[in-house]
Amino acid sequence: DTGVSQDPRHKITKRGQNVTFRCDPISEHNRLYWYRQTLGQGPEFLTYFQNEAQLEKSRLLSDRFSAERPKGSFSTLEIQRTEQGDSAMYLCASSPAYREYYGYTFGSGTRLTVV
Amino acid sequence: KNQVEQSPQSLIILEGKNCTLQCNYTVSPFSNLRWYKQDTGRGPVSLTIMTFSENTKSNGRYTATLDADTKQSSLHITASQLSDSASYICVVSAGGGGNKLTFGTGTQLKVEL
């Protein structure tokens, strides 16, 4: 296992289209997090899962956003009817539940550009 | 409201020189403080993690300090290299998992010849 994998690395889409991103966490990690990061800012929390349960969602996660982790392994983040303001880097991170800080690992992100 | 403030916002130094980045936080309760390096277009990579009982942690040419009383941390980079050019983000955790991380906006470091 080489870390947290995110796919695709880059996505360009037209406004109004739907997009879906995938995150594969480190296999033994049962916690998975999604963040959004815009230029010059730190990551902003979107949502997190423990196993397959989505335990917390940010107010940033509007009705157009949905995240799933159906079998407690990989996760998907879908954005419906994309808007130009959705253009950002979408980061996934995973961690173990115990002493999560020592294993907290980010993926390389998916860069979304909405044109 | 939990906040993490970093300074300077950006910094340019010559290769081989040392530099120190600052982080002040108002996060309660405090669990741990992390420094991350983020290259352009990549995800953050952990440099150091310090709990409240640790006041210094090194990782190669990177040394982080923590003063839990004044709620300040610094990241010192020794003998800088061109590859150190990146954003350095200070992150403070209130513990307990979930959305307990407060991120700074980062210091953008550029190392020049």
pLDDT of residue B96: 65
Chain A neighbors of B49, CB-CB under 8 A: 101-102
B110's tokens: 């550029």
| Nearest CA-CA partner of A104 in A95, A114, A113 | A95
- Tens of pLDDT along B72-86? 999 999 999 999 999
Residue A87 contacts B, CB cutoff 8 Å: no
Looking at chain B, the whole-number percentage of residues with pLDDT higher than 70 is 96
Residue A50 contacts B, CB cutoff 8 Å: yes
In this model, does residue B97 exceed pLDDT 70? Answer: no
Tell whether omega for the bond before B29 is within 30 degrees of 0, i.e. cis.
yes
Chain A neighbors of B89, CB-CB under 8 A: 42
The number of residues in chain B equals 113
Do residue A101 and residue B34 have CB atoms under 8 angstroms apart? yes
Do residue B99 and residue A108 have CB atoms under 8 angstroms apart? no
Stronger pLDDT, A104 or B110, i.e. the higher one: B110
Which segment of A89-98, B6-15, B71-80, B96-105 scores lowest on mean pLDDT?
A: B96-105
Looking at chain B, the whole-number percentage of residues with pLDDT higher than 90 is 82
Nearest-CB residue to A100 (from B36, B41, B97): B97
B109's tokens: 């470091």
pLDDT of residue B103: 93
Average confidence (pLDDT) per 10 residues, chain A, 115 residues: 89 98 94 94 93 91 93 94 97 87 89 98
Q: In chain A, whose CA is at the least distance from the CA of B99? A: A45
**Please, which pLDDT band fits residue B98 given cuts at 50, 70 and 90?**
low
Q: What is the mean pLDDT of residues B50-70?
A: 94
In this model, does residue B58 exceed pLDDT 80? Answer: yes
Do residue B91 and residue A41 have CB atoms under 8 angstroms apart? no
Amino acid at B50: M
Q: Reduced to 3 states, what is the DSSP secondary structure of residue B84?
A: helix
Report the run of H or E that residue A102 belongs to, with start and end.
Answer: helix A100-103
